[in-house]
Every structure is written in C-alpha cells, then in structure tokens.
Amino acid sequence: MSTKENIMPLSEKRENQKALLDTTKSISNKENSKHANKPLSKPGLKETKLTHTKLHVQEEKSTHTTLVRKERKEEEEEVLVYIPEQPRRSPSPQSIEQLLEYPANKINIHHRKEVNFLRFEPKTTDTNATRSKVQDLENELKETIKQKEELESKVQAARKQLKQKTQQVQEIDHKMEQMTKIKARIEANKQEISEHQSIYDELVSILEGANEKGLEFDKTLSGYNDQVDDLLNVLSLTKYRIQEFKESHSKAE
C-alpha cells in the first residue's frame, strides 16, 4: 500500500470501529446464550472445561472501501470453577470488555444536581423594619429578664416564709410532744393520788378508831386517878391517926 492508502478519513475510521464493535457484541451474545441455556449445577467446587474465545480481526484499509475479515478460534482447558448457591448478578467479562471498547463520547454520566441554596435565603427587608423588630425583641428580652428577676425574688420570699412556717410547725410539734408527756404524767399522778387516797381513808378510819379508844382510855384513867386520890386521902388520914395514937400513948406512960 502507498502512503495515500494508509491515510483514512475520519468517517471511514468511525465506520470501522462500529463494525468491529457490532461483531464483538454478536460474539459475546452468542457466548452468553450458550451459558444461559446450560442447566444450573449444584453449588460447590466443580472441575469443568472453560472455553476461551479469541477474536482475530484483520483490516484491509483503502481510501473508499473497508474490508473486515474475522477469524474465530476456540481453546478448551480444564479449570476448577466455584458455582455459588444463588446466581450472582455481577457483570460478565464480556460486558466489561464491551464497556472498555465503548466510545467515550457516547458514555453519559448522570451527576447529582446540586441543591440551590439561594432559594432558602431569607428575603431582604427594609432596614428600619429590621431595626424596629430588633428593638421590639430587645424590649421583650428586657421585660422577660425583669419578670424572671421578680419571680426569683418572689421564690426567695416564699422560701423564707416556708422556712419560718416549717420552724413554727416544728416548735408546735415539740410543744405537742411536751403536752402529751405532761398529760401522761398527770394521769399517772391521778392514779397515784387515787391509790394514796384509799390509803389515807384507811389511815383516817384507823385514827378515828384510835381516838375513840383513847377517849375511852382517858375516861378509864381518870376514874383510876380518882380512886388513887381517894386511897391517898384515906392513907394520909390513917397516918395522921396513927401519929396521934403514938403521941397520946407516950404521954400516958
């Protein structure tokens, strides 16, 4: 071939690439149909024959016409293949080869659309209106702070009152306990008094009986005293007579 024949127009080059791609697709489809029609084996490792297909393409280039000649050669060899339990949906080597041979200008990559954040931006407002809103918000904040301080002061006052009331209740409880103890002591004293009253009554009755007996003894004793006095008088009279008798008798001698 001359140098003129080696120079090929761009349109003819594209047609040659398209024809080559079509032949590759047809061969891969035939291979896939062969594998698809085969019955599924049981899962596990199995020794099988793998067919390698080699495609030799010889091009004869000219200025006006393009001739494509195809040769197909099959080779078989024994390999160890793993058959999965469930058929996988992974791409076959033929589809990967097709993707690699596919022209880049026909590949469409769908990119994710970026979010338009501008539509979420707040609308611009008037400066005076914004200032008035800010002032209103500041006033509301000040009022809220003031109310919070008032509530805090009220809470503190309520806590103080609660503390005082709690102390008063504790004092009242202490006094009630003391009153209960005093009432118990009074009841115990009353019981003791009632027991002592019975003893006192017995003593009074005993004293009354003794007093009566004492009065009777006094009467008896006074009677005995009168008798003794009478006897003493008689004795003194007898002594006097004896003395007189002795004196009279001594004179007579």
Last residue of a domain, one of 105, 130, 164: 105
Q: Is 134 contained in some domain?
A: no
Which residues neighbour 134 within 8 Å (Cβ) at sequence distance 6 or greater? none
Q: Is the whole model's pTM more than 0.85, yes or no?
A: no
Q: Which domain holds residue 233?
A: 143-239
- 99 and 147 in a single domain? The answer is no
User: Taking 90 as the threshold, does the pLDDT of residue 162 lie above it?
Assistant: yes
Least confident of 74-78, 89-93, 118-122, 188-192: 74-78
Average pLDDT of every residue of the chain: 71
Last residue of a domain, one of 80, 105, 130: 105
| pLDDT score of 115 | 55
| Helix/strand/coil (H/E/C) assignment for every residue in 95-115 | HHHHHHHCCHHHCCCCCCCCC
Phi and psi (nearest 5°) for 60?
Answer: -115, 110
- 78 and 165 in a single domain? The answer is no
- CA triple 19-24-28, angle to 5 deg: 150
Last residue of a domain, one of 58, 90, 105: 105
* Region of residue 67 (left: phi > 0; alpha: psi -120 to 50; beta: else): beta
- 12 and 90 in a single domain? The answer is yes
pLDDT in tens, 63-84: 444 444 444 444 455 544 545 5
> Is pLDDT larger for residue 49 or for residue 173?
173
Q: Is 73 contained in some domain?
A: yes
- 218 and 152 in a single domain? The answer is yes
Q: Is 121 contained in some domain?
A: no
Into how many domains does the chain fold? 2
- 101 and 156 in a single domain? The answer is no
> Is pLDDT larger for residue 135 or for residue 101?
135
Are the beta carbons of 101 and 21 closer than 8 angstroms? yes
pLDDT in tens, 7-44: 445 566 566 666 766 776 666 666 555 544 444 444 44
